[in-house]
Chains A and B, each alone.
Chain A
């Protein structure tokens, strides 16, 4: 069945964070063009950071994204401490990693249960899913709550945490304050393993992507809150060389900027992290991944939900490990005295790599800021996937093909609020 001279539209793609539109042109049975149109109103963060104190970037940039504020905070303090050459020491570093694990658990579980699983099971949302599978959704919500409990206990608040700062924390929690968290996380570990086994039973459409992959790399652990960079062609480079490899360019159809890695389309996020770093996962995460049928690499974007579930197991394990060996940092922060210069920072936001660069003057004020969020890095890869998915499924009728396009986009947990809001899908068949 071929469709010619047909148009189809979906009012808005739901279950993504932000607003955008998708335009697909099919002519003579060939996909001519796919554009992910992002029309999220720009908020000009890089401009409004100019003239702010170096210490303010942590609070201000967290407001770029309500779903991954810790990612913004982490990349910001990494950049400031890179500039000053500050070392916060192992205790503060561990507390930061614990905080970030909380965000991974919370954000990934939100995506798995509330945004993505309904696609696989044929429901419009998790509330409808709960009507038939209440225990399952309650398991997800309990897991998500454990992530938020970390964010609240360590960060002071689940959304836009108030406790972290450049150099460390305003106040470090006591061992006694973290103890109930460990109890909650031991229960969450069971929920996390159940989640992998549940998701492993979903049906995954075939798609094998060939994008270049980019992730943070840490020799000692699965990189989350810091690291150098590594690519799937095994090029590695330090964070300060990021802009030598990644170039952002503006495209007319989007308020997000598109990025290229050494001139090529590339992907960051769970698939990139897992494929490049799966040997650094915890034994339990590796074991459950193997049971779920994941090899050491994964290049099928539809299986990203499974990789997220494995990363949640890992984040729960890591959080427990950190709490069990926790030594309260005293003082809770090191002094970071600003000086004129340039600092670079990355961290692994739940949906992909997040880069910050700041130019600071002698008075400690920000002269220039560059922020490259994961979704703008992934946009070209998402458009490429869409082209391949549409091309391979032209025999589907319009509603089915449209639904598949929306799922393809959700595979990437796109955070459009970060990158510049809703996907309004227009397909033109000529």
Chain B
């Protein structure tokens, strides 16, 4: 039987929790795979190697930079789940600040705290076989990736924009109808256009889509009077490094 391992690095546990949130599928899935290493859910740990590893979280400490190499060495297929693992997460805001200053804001004796100056995605350290986006990941997409792996086909995870999902649901465009700033045109699909469905602008938690035209969107936002600082903050959240890379490439 296929063995499955789940690993955690710097993260909120929400993406691995998504697996436990598959209430209708969890017990069936457990009959199809051997859950060999999933510390949040089981105290039984089977030795590697593992057929499939799901990796949550970003690399922020010297120890974790070592540990991810060991996980890679033990895993036939390595899939990163979520914005921390695929882009460094919200904690990658430190990459643009002074980590020493960050440490001293939170801790009175910063010297006890062993941390790297950056929060980096898993792919910056080891080869990754598939990246599943989202903060958090979508339950349906997670099940699709696992199901595809089990039968040896390519997962059906479109890399189009949130706009395509929004249109398919027949939702009112919040940017056009309400003038609400919305990252939908540049954001990777996968959530099912959750924010527009509550009449809110997309805030980009799935990160940039392939070939995102960021200058076109930021230009539009400026023309509609959105402050430069606000545009900066809109892009500087859970996928700050990924949107930053797209922005740099367009300059």
Q: Is B97 a contact of A163 with CB atoms below 8 Å? A: no
Q: How far is the CA of A138 from the CA of B113 in the complex (A)?
A: 42
Given A60-B237, A171-B199, A66-B136 contact (CB < 8 Å): yes
The interface residues of chain A lying within 8 Å CB-to-CB of B91 are: 43-44, 48
Question: Closest CB of chain A to B110's CB: distance in Å?
Answer: 9
Determine if A317 is an interface residue (Cβ-Cβ < 8 Å). Answer: no
Given A64-B12, A127-B27, A163-B198 contact (CB < 8 Å): yes
The residue in chain B whose Cβ has the minimal distance to the Cβ of A151 is: B21
Question: Closest CB of chain B to A414's CB: distance in Å?
Answer: 12
Determine if A46 is an interface residue (Cβ-Cβ < 8 Å). Answer: yes
The interface residues of chain B lying within 8 Å CB-to-CB of A255 are: 112-113
Question: Closest CB of chain A to B153's CB: distance in Å?
Answer: 25
Q: Is B115 a contact of A66 with CB atoms below 8 Å? A: no
Question: Closest CB of chain A to B115's CB: distance in Å?
Answer: 6
A residues 63-92 near B (Cβ < 8 Å) are: 63-67, 69
Determine if A404 is an interface residue (Cβ-Cβ < 8 Å). Answer: no
Q: Is A145 a contact of B237 with CB atoms below 8 Å? A: no
The residue in chain A whose Cβ has the minimal distance to the Cβ of B139 is: A158
Partner of B41, one of A63, A125, A156: A125
Determine if B157 is an interface residue (Cβ-Cβ < 8 Å). Answer: no
Q: Is A145 a contact of B13 with CB atoms below 8 Å? A: no
Q: Is B8 a contact of A421 with CB atoms below 8 Å? A: yes
Q: Is B108 a contact of A44 with CB atoms below 8 Å? A: no
Q: Is B42 a contact of A160 with CB atoms below 8 Å? A: no
The residue in chain A whose Cβ has the minimal distance to the Cβ of B11 is: A417
Partner of A125, one of B44, B90, B101: B44
Partner of A19, one of B8, B12, B14: B8
Determine if A9 is an interface residue (Cβ-Cβ < 8 Å). Answer: no
Query: Could you mark each residue 31-62 of chain A with 1 if its beta carbon is under 8 Å from any beta carbon of chain B, else 0?
Result: 00000000011111111101011001001100
The residue in chain A whose Cβ has the minimal distance to the Cβ of B90 is: A63
Q: How large, as a class, is the contact surface on chain B?
A: 35 or more
Determine if B250 is an interface residue (Cβ-Cβ < 8 Å). Answer: no
Determine if A250 is an interface residue (Cβ-Cβ < 8 Å). Answer: yes
Determine if A159 is an interface residue (Cβ-Cβ < 8 Å). Answer: yes
Q: How far is the CA of A42 from the CA of B9 in the complex (A)?
A: 11
Partner of A41, one of B44, B115, B191: B115
A residues 136-160 near B (Cβ < 8 Å) are: 137-138, 141-142, 144-145, 148, 156-160
Q: How far is the CA of A60 from the CA of B10 in the complex (A)?
A: 15
B residues 95-125 near A (Cβ < 8 Å) are: 97, 99, 101-103, 105-109, 112-113, 115, 119
The interface residues of chain A lying within 8 Å CB-to-CB of B64 are: 41
Q: Is B102 a contact of A47 with CB atoms below 8 Å? A: yes
How many chain-A residues does the 8 Å CB contact rule pick out? Answer: 67
Q: Is B135 a contact of A128 with CB atoms below 8 Å? A: no
Interface-facing stretch out of A10-18, A264-272, A320-328: A10-18
Q: Is B35 a contact of A127 with CB atoms below 8 Å? A: yes
Question: Closest CB of chain A to B152's CB: distance in Å?
Answer: 24
Determine if A314 is an interface residue (Cβ-Cβ < 8 Å). Answer: no
- Among A115, A170, A406, chain B packs the most CB atoms within 10 A around the CB of A170
Given A66-B14, A66-B15, A124-B42, A159-B21 contact (CB < 8 Å): yes
Determine if B40 is an interface residue (Cβ-Cβ < 8 Å). Answer: yes
Determine if A93 is an interface residue (Cβ-Cβ < 8 Å). Answer: no
Determine if A169 is an interface residue (Cβ-Cβ < 8 Å). Answer: yes
B residues 1-60 near A (Cβ < 8 Å) are: 8-18, 20-21, 23-24, 26-27, 30, 35, 38-45, 60
Determine if B218 is an interface residue (Cβ-Cβ < 8 Å). Answer: no
Determine if B231 is an interface residue (Cβ-Cβ < 8 Å). Answer: no
Q: Is B12 a contact of A59 with CB atoms below 8 Å? A: no
Q: Is A162 a contact of B102 with CB atoms below 8 Å? A: no
Q: Is A47 a contact of B39 with CB atoms below 8 Å? A: no
The interface residues of chain A lying within 8 Å CB-to-CB of B199 are: 170-171
The interface residues of chain B lying within 8 Å CB-to-CB of A42 are: 60, 103, 106-107, 113, 115
The interface residues of chain A lying within 8 Å CB-to-CB of B194 are: 156-157, 162
The residue in chain A whose Cβ has the minimal distance to the Cβ of B27 is: A130
Question: Closest CB of chain A to B18's CB: distance in Å?
Answer: 7
Q: Is A158 a contact of B21 with CB atoms below 8 Å? A: yes
Question: Closest CB of chain B to A385's CB: distance in Å?
Answer: 19
The interface residues of chain B lying within 8 Å CB-to-CB of A47 are: 94, 97, 101-103, 105-106
Determine if A126 is an interface residue (Cβ-Cβ < 8 Å). Answer: yes
Determine if B128 is an interface residue (Cβ-Cβ < 8 Å). Answer: no
Q: How far is the CA of A134 from the CA of B28 in the complex (A)?
A: 11
The residue in chain B whose Cβ has the minimal distance to the Cβ of A60 is: B90
Q: Is A124 a contact of B90 with CB atoms below 8 Å? A: no
Determine if A193 is an interface residue (Cβ-Cβ < 8 Å). Answer: no
The residue in chain A whose Cβ has the minimal distance to the Cβ of B191 is: A157
Question: Closest CB of chain B to A367's CB: distance in Å?
Answer: 11
Query: Could you mark each residue 55-91 of chain B with 1 if its beta carbon is under 8 Å from any beta carbon of chain A, else 0?
Result: 0000011001000000000000000000000000111
Q: Is A63 a contact of B135 with CB atoms below 8 Å? A: yes
Q: Is B198 a contact of A257 with CB atoms below 8 Å? A: no
A residues 261-294 near B (Cβ < 8 Å) are: none
The interface residues of chain A lying within 8 Å CB-to-CB of B175 are: none
Q: Is A159 a contact of B136 with CB atoms below 8 Å? A: yes
Q: Is A66 a contact of B9 with CB atoms below 8 Å? A: no
Determine if A422 is an interface residue (Cβ-Cβ < 8 Å). Answer: yes
The residue in chain B whose Cβ has the minimal distance to the Cβ of A251 is: B112
The residue in chain A whose Cβ has the minimal distance to the Cβ of B107 is: A250
Given A14-B43, A125-B41, A169-B198, A250-B237 contact (CB < 8 Å): no
The residue in chain B whose Cβ has the minimal distance to the Cβ of A15 is: B43
Q: Is A134 a contact of B12 with CB atoms below 8 Å? A: no
16 contacts between A and B (CB under 8 A): A18-B8, A18-B13, A42-B107, A43-B89, A43-B91, A48-B91, A60-B237, A63-B14, A114-B41, A125-B44, A128-B42, A144-B21, A159-B17, A160-B135, A163-B200, A422-B8
A47-B102, A125-B43, A169-B198 given. 17 additional CB < 8 A pairs? A17-B40, A41-B10, A44-B106, A46-B106, A47-B103, A60-B90, A63-B12, A66-B16, A67-B17, A125-B42, A144-B23, A145-B23, A157-B136, A159-B136, A163-B200, A171-B198, A255-B112
What are the 10 tightest A-B residue pairs by CB atom distance, in nearest-first order? A66-B14, A125-B42, A124-B44, A14-B43, A47-B102, A47-B105, A43-B91, A145-B23, A171-B198, A141-B23
